[in-house]
């Protein structure tokens, strides 16, 4: 091995990388999102998707859902570092494979095509809680809710049928059954 000239150590082997969904309850105040996002970018963590909105007007709480990837050690750090932020109340952490948790993402899709293609497009989306929000004889705006990878697939499949625009929310999560997050 060549002699290292660096004043720092060389990186060691990486562990297995998993996808996790991190749910963060925060005070809904100015710059809180940049604190959370800045923590991710500053420490080199990934963000695959991000969904945020106020969920409790009375207590002024927002819920942030972040899909991220990392080794178990990195995921643990993400959770612990988030908990240190002053406006953060609690942090939930779920593996994407976790059966006890429901993950959903919503997408709005615009199709511009002739009637037969639109019909085919609607057919592709049928399985995913399809709602037609707007339809003309040349176009349709539809809403689907599904898993991230399902939406990926749908948008791919819709390309030949005149898909011109996609807007997605990022995943949100909720536990199954009567259980709530701690």
Partner 1 sequence: MPKLYSGAEIVFKCLEDQKVEHIFGYPGGAVLPIYDELKNHPTIKHILVRHEQGAGHAAEGYARSTGKPGVVLVTSGPGATNVVTALTDAYMDSVPLVCISGQVPTHLIGTDAFQECDTTGITRPCTKHNWLVKDINDLPRIMHEAFEVATTGRPGPVLVDIPKDIQFAKAKYFKPKKEKKLDGKFLNRFKQKEIDQLVDLMKKASKPVFYTGGGVINSGPKASELLRELVALTGFPITSTLQGLGAYPGDDNQFLGMLGMHGTYEANNAMHDCDLLINIGARFDDRITGKIDEFSPKSKKVHIDIDPSSINKIVKVDLSIVGDVSDVIKSTIKTLKKKNLNLEKSNKQKLSKWWQQIQKWRTKQSLNFINSDKIIKPQHAVQRLYELTKNQDTYITTEVGQHQMWAAQHYKFNKPNRWMTSGGLGTMGYGLPAAIGVQVAHPKKLVVDIAGEASILMTMQEISTAVQYNLPIKIFILNNQYMGMVRQWQELLHEKNYSESYSEALPDFVKLAEAYGCVGIRAENPDELDEKIEEMINIDRPVIFDCHVDQAENCYPMIPSGKPHNQMLLGPKDQEVNKISGKGKSLV
Tell me which residues touch partner 1 (CB under 8 A). Answer: 3-10, 12-13, 30-31, 34-35, 38, 42, 73, 76-77, 80-81, 83-86
> Least Å distance between CB 81 and partner 1?
5
Q: Give the total residue count for the chain.
A: 182
Determine the Cα–Cα distance for residues 95 and 69; give it in Å rounded to an integer.
10
> Least Å distance between CB 77 and partner 1?
6
> Least Å distance between CB 101 and partner 1?
24
Contact 78, 126 (CB under 8 A): no
Kindly tell me which of 30 and 178 has the beta carbon lying closer to partner 1. 30
Contact 78, 70 (CB under 8 A): yes
Q: How many CA atoms lie within 13 A of 23 on its CB side?
A: 19
> Least Å distance between CB 149 and partner 1?
31
Of residues 96, 68, 99, 95, the one with CA closest to residue 82 = 68
Return the structure tokens found at 32.
Answer: 């809180």
Kindly tell me which of 34 and 129 has the beta carbon lying closer to partner 1. 34
Kindly tell me which of 15 and 160 has the beta carbon lying closer to partner 1. 15
Contact 108, 142 (CB under 8 A): yes
Kindly tell me which of 5 and 126 has the beta carbon lying closer to partner 1. 5
């Amino acid at each position: 091995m060549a002699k290292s000239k660096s004043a720092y150590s060389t990186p060691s082997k990486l562990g297995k990388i998993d996808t996790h969904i991190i749910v963060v309850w925060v005070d809904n105040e100015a710059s809180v999102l940049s604190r959370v996002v800045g923590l991710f970018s500053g420490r080199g963590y990934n963000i695959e998707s991000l969904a945020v909105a106020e969920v409790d007007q009375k207590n002024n709480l927002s819920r942030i859902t972040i899909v991220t990837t990392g080794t178990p050690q990195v995921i643990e750090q993400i959770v612990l570092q988030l908990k240190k932020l002053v406006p953060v109340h609690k942090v939930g952490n779920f593996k994407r494979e976790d059966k006890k948790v429901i993950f959903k993402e919503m997408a709005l899709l615009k199709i511009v095509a002739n009637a037969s293609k639109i019909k085919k497009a609607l057919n592709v989306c049928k399985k995913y809680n399809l709602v037609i929000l707007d339809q003309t004889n040349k176009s349709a705006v539809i809403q689907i809710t599904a898993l991230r990878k399902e939406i990926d697939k749908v948008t791919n499949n819709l390309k030949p049928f005149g898909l011109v625009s996609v807007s997605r929310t990022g995943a949100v999560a909720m536990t199954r059954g009567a259980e709530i997050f701690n």
